[in-house]
Structure 1
Amino acid sequence: MTVSTAIARLNAADPDFARHLDHLLSWESVSDDAVNQRVLDIIKSVRERGDAALVEFTQRFDGVDAKSIDDLILGRERLELALTRISAAQREALETAANRVRSYHERQKQDSWQYTEADGTVLGQKVTPLDRAGLYVPGGKASYPSSVLMNAIPAKVAGVGEVVMVVPTPRGEINELVLAAACIAGVDRVFTVGGAQAVAALAYGTESVPQVDKIVGPGNIYVATAKRHVFGQVGIDMIAGPSEILVVCDGQTDPGWIAMDLFSQAEHDEDAQAILVSPDAAFLDRVAASIDKLLPTMERAEIIEKSINGRGALIQVRDMQQAIEVANRIAPEHLELSVADPQAWLPQIRHAGAIFMGRHTSEALGDYCAGPNHVLPTSGTARFSSPLGVYDFQKRSSIIFCSEQGASELGHTASVLARGESLTAHARSAEYRILNEKGN
């Protein structure tokens, strides 16, 4: 196998830099008409035919010889069996990662609060966990037990009553690590279905699959399209694009380390994006050389090559200040600050899903076991979105408890505003509670 890279080289001093950068970052995740229609047909079928549709689609798309929905349900005992089938080292790694993820997310949990005003009126917020969450997990050989931990544990920390996992098993391939992760994370029920049909089942419910309040977890274009269509019926986490990494380096980190950091995202798929920004042109050359040297040693070399050549870049900037400006412009999913004093630059970072500080903090640690969530905003959406967290599995209700005096005082204000909007019933409803004006 012959692999070679021709990674793009950009310079922020180039008059056309902004245009070239926009072209590099552009990503269209909208499904084509054919995919869209297939997904709509699948959702309609699942809504109308329930379990029977799930069995049929699983037979057709996954090649699973299922006679009934019972063949697609894994009980808690099967998850516990998976724990015995993985190696001791794998179990220890899963438990270590789970403990770290749980510890981090416990600090995110929000509590209800109230305060009392001088007139006795009580205002506040009641925080309540979702009743049930659905977790989509990719299946088969390309499966991700780390995603199980990252999605299920925050839900459990939030207090979600039931976590339902769907995972396809193409040709009957079951990944024991995924099931073991589900056991450790506290998943309550597992259905071995996938694709748009699994999303539809979670959103609308079937005879066997319970309807959930929110669907989280990554999937292919059919899963993403289905999540778009069921949003509103249920909540969703996000519509994620290809994985991204942006490394900002002052030129003093080992170029081999940086090359491998770029590979760590490029190996996900051909559309993943890996970008290095540095003011040191000679360092960019050394990283390019390391890329060429290390690429043939990688198991997923062909995928990395296509990703690096298609969407990767080495960007030269004037100085570190401009490097930070470029980083904020890109708003990456993963940002590595591979510099001498990352804390000094942190206050200037405005847009990033996760920030990896210093030369020794590889993005890969965040994917698996550092603790923060690896479900992150992509495609520039870090400008307005956040990582998945406990707060995604909690909802907030406002609390308003007026005293007699408070209702009277607020009634005057509400009356003026309501009459200004020509909503007389609103006004009179408030006015009835104004002291000495009852019955007006």
Structure 2
Amino acid sequence: MHAGVISDARGGCGMVTLIGEYYSFFPGRGGEDIKSLGFDSHFPMSFTIHPALTGHGQCPQMEMKTFRSLLPTVLLTFGISLLTTSATILWFTSFLTIFIHVGLVSDPPNVAGPSDTILPQLISILFERLLPATFVSAVLFWTCSRSTTLRAIPASGNLEKTILWLGSLWIGALSNFTLESWIPLSRLSAHDLSQQPGAVAALVAIVAVITVTVAYQAYSFWLERRVLPYLALYSFILGGIAVGAIVSISGLGTLELRIHHYVLALLLLPLTSIQTRPALVYQGLLLGLFINGIARWGFDSVIQTAEALRRGDGLFGTSLVPAVDGQPLVYLATEVSELWSIAFKWKEVNDTLAALMPQVGERGREEADKLQGVSVMVNDVERHRKFFAEEALEDQVFRWERDPRVVTTPEYFRFAFLGEDGRSMDYSGVGTWFGNGTWSAGPGFY
């Protein structure tokens, strides 16, 4: 997309060409207004992207692929909604059709493997999640909609019902194209709120909207004299959230409270069990969020460990990084060799822990017991990995060489411990070996 070869709307295809080691990447603005960062050093492997071939062997165009797959499903659900006055038929046909569409087409879960195994994997995951989700959907229907929101809507109201309830349902179910592109907030955990730009402001805005919505719905329930049962229900729910928050704040077992967007939908759906136009909108939107959350991610715990909350190469939150024993030794060209080199030694793990005890506390001591080795990255590419069973940390030496006639750019070094399963923990800050041979350690390197 940045290279302008494909677009978000029409897809497309192109050709990737490996070009080997490459130096100095420049910042720029490309297709879809995507900005790229510059990098003033090198990577061992790089690639370029070109438009598709023309003439013989031309790549097939995939214009509006998402729209073409979405249109029949939307027309099917809208047709059923316009033709039926049965709340049961509307609810379950919409739920099943949209759940299958999300799980297979619009926001399928991540799977890997040969292309001929991907669809079977998606179908397997879909039915694994569909059966329990359908049970939850049935409970929601009987408690929140059957005798309240969707009850006895006459045929003359089918168009209005379709636009308000079903339209909102599709917006929620396609939240990866709608809400997620508008709201910079993916998960309600303290770590994610601190890491995502604009997340706090988005959360404040969402809380304000929810507060106004809840107040209006509470007023509607008060007019129908149904406030007390719902006050009892939400007192119980808020009590459970408070317990989860206390567990998270106390750090008991390194557990954190995580309110998934589908959990938020479940918490708010009882407030839509009233037949008003706003309730139709709220209920459709919340049911769509529930469908999207389960079809895409599956059911998950609301009390999770920090490890379970990590995404991909996200931070572990560890306090320990390997401490360099003194300054690295830099060797410039000599009569024997024209290569420059830099060598690092590390302190013993317990020495590192002792120096950091005021900062890391007992949790740091627990982390130290799980450390199995050390990893070194140069320019964000791992260049060294050795376990303590092979050689103690204080006996290891990492030496890096370069040819000053070829490499005139800075190189960046970061260190990390290896955990119990051999995965690297959080890396240190950056140390820089400049093109002229001088060395500088950045914050958090030692």
TM-score bin, normalised by smaller chain:
under 0.3
Q: Which has the higher contact order (CA 8 A, sep 6+)?
A: 1
Normalising to structure 2: TM-score of the pair?
Answer: 0.23
Structure number with greater Rg is 2
